[in-house]
Chains A and B, each alone.
Chain A
Amino acid sequence: MIGMNKELLSVSSKERVNQTYKIETENLNAWFGTKQALKDINIKIRANSITAIIGPSGCGKSTLIRCLNRMHELVPSAKVSGKVFLDGVDIYSKNVDPVIVRRRVGMVFQKPNPFPTMSIYDNVAAGLKLNGIRDRKRLDEIVRKSLEQAWLWDEVKDDLDKPGASLSGGQQQRLCIARALAVEPEVLLLDEPTSALDPIAASKIEQLIVSLKRDYTIVIVTHNMQQAARVSDYTAFLYLGRLIEYDVTAKIFSNPREELTENYIAGRFG
């Protein structure tokens, strides 16, 4: 099933815009009703990199990443214009199935949201089971691998049939990461994944994110400047729905081009 998804989205290499970028947006605009939340965003995200998105509350960070896996359109009255290329193919073009986009571009939310009626095992296996994969041996393998990748296996390996909601907040968030990894996406979008967690749980998840870079392209929204500086390769600064500055993280934090960026990073607003 998962192999087929790539087929559906792959187009002849002629049509590909640029191979080195995993995701590329072109004049991306997004609205909630009449309120415009994103204005002409152009951003190129490299494969196997970690990109941090920073900016004050309400500037459109969540909206931006939700446009990258077509989750934005699930909000009633929401609208999108512009293009988002995934491996050179516009995910908003007519013949692309949003469900397949979401399988290739996984997402972890700000608040851990395990399925409350399911066991730990079923939470991780949900994406596969509900898409028709029944082979128990294969499921066992993927569940184990995903939990190991999310550094949760050792803590839960004896309790796989306990409810997912019985875990601590940090464990639940890692469970959600494992759940996202189980469907083998290529891109992982993380919306403030550590904001609900204590520093120890947060640092575990930070290490985890860095370790995932080898296999995934990662975009992480964060309010925590130190976190952005610690984990990311590139940083994008968003303000009032516009992309103000986007560069190598070291550059953004040491020598930003824009005064606005400098003021935000220095904590003068936001």
Chain B
Amino acid sequence: MAYIKDKGGCSRIMQTYLVRKFKDKFAYAVCLACVIVAVIPLGSILFEVTKNGLPALNMEFFIEGPRAIGEPGGGIANSIQGTLILIGLTSLIGVPIGILSGIYLAEFGNNKFGKIVRLTNNILAQFPSIVIGIFAYLTIVLLIGSFSPLAGAIALAIIMIPIITRTTEESLKLVPNTLREASMALGIRRWRTIMSIVLVSAKNGVVTGIMLSISRIAGETAPLIMTILGSQWFFSGLTEPMDALTLRIWRLALLPYDYAHTTGWGAALVLIIIVLSLNILARILTRSKFVLRGV
């Protein structure tokens, strides 16, 4: 009797075991399918851009500015220059402010003021970028009296800061408290502990946030129309209009010429390559582990 009972129990376990095993496999398959669905658009965009953009790429394309409208040839060098200047200027403003605010929120923001800053920051992160562009136009552009790369950089920095602030805060909060305590117990001051122990431990997350924000601002168009306007010329001062790849792509797309569309695809390909290489560069530069930085 006992023997039969045992056997029954056994096969029941076997049955549920098979069900569980199937569920496990099934869940895995669903996840995989979703990943594939998510990757298809990404892959096809990259494919389209590469296919249509590659023919545009040649020496002239990278070293010359545009020709007159309707005349084929010329290049997008002035737009590349503008985008790089914008990325640089924006990062110069946005990265320090974003990181320091993130540090404040993570390390000292456990109070009412911190809560308000966090809330404001999250709202700002969801602001439509065109509104930020209008804001920059109404304040800086009208104040200076001209379109300006500086106004563009400030508008983009307003987009960049909340992204970096949030990712920095989250990365710092992942650093275990035992590390902060270990450092403080050595008689290392709070600020030095944050800069040399906590921030360094959270480096990967912080860098990811910076790269994310750079990718985001490099792809912005709307706020640039109202701040740097766009231009046929190379950079000629902080109070002159300037071009950027996104503006160029936008203008080229509106033109009725085939050559213009090819140039547009080429510019899009270059923009993607710039963002990708910045990402890879940042990874390489921050890979050097086990270096103690004296700040």
Contact = CB atoms under 8 A, between A and B. Distances in A.
Interface of A: 69, 71, 74, 76, 99-100, 102-104, 106-107, 109, 111, 113-119, 122, 125-127, 129-132, 134, 161, 163, 176, 179-180, 183
Contacts of B180: 74
Contacts of B178: 109, 111, 113
| Residue of B184, B201, B292 with most partner-chain A CB within 10 A | B292
B200 A117 contact: yes
28 contacts: A69-B185, A71-B185, A76-B110, A99-B187, A99-B189, A100-B187, A102-B184, A102-B185, A103-B187, A106-B185, A113-B176, A113-B181, A115-B183, A117-B201, A118-B290, A119-B292, A125-B292, A126-B197, A130-B193, A131-B187, A131-B192, A132-B294, A134-B294, A163-B289, A163-B290, A176-B182, A179-B186, A183-B187
B295 to A, nearest CB: 9
B218 to A, nearest CB: 29
A131 B184 contact: no
Contacts of B110: 76
B188 interface: yes
Given A99-B187, A127-B187, A117 B182 contact: no
Contacts of A107: 185
A113 B187 contact: no
Given A119-B290, A130-B192, A161-B290, A74 B182 contact: no
A217 B178 CA distance: 24
Interface in B153-200: 176, 178-189, 192-193, 196-197, 200
| Residue of B178, B186, B196, B292 with most partner-chain A CB within 10 A | B186
A117 B186 contact: no
Nearest to B289: A117
A127 B186 contact: yes
Given A102-B184, A179-B186, A183-B186, A130 B179 contact: no
B186 A106 contact: yes
A74 B184 contact: yes
Given A104-B187, A115-B197, A126-B186, 18 more contacts: A69-B185, A71-B185, A74-B184, A99-B188, A102-B185, A103-B186, A109-B181, A113-B179, A115-B183, A117-B289, A122-B292, A130-B183, A130-B196, A130-B292, A130-B294, A132-B294, A176-B182, A180-B185
Nearest to A176: B182
A104 B187 CA distance: 8
A106 B186 CA distance: 6
Given A71-B181, A103-B186, A117 B294 contact: no
Contacts of B203: 117
B290 A129 contact: no
A71 B184 contact: yes
Contact of A122 (B181, B193, B290): B290
A118 B186 contact: no
Contacts of A103: 186-187
A118 B186 CA distance: 15
Contacts of A100: 187
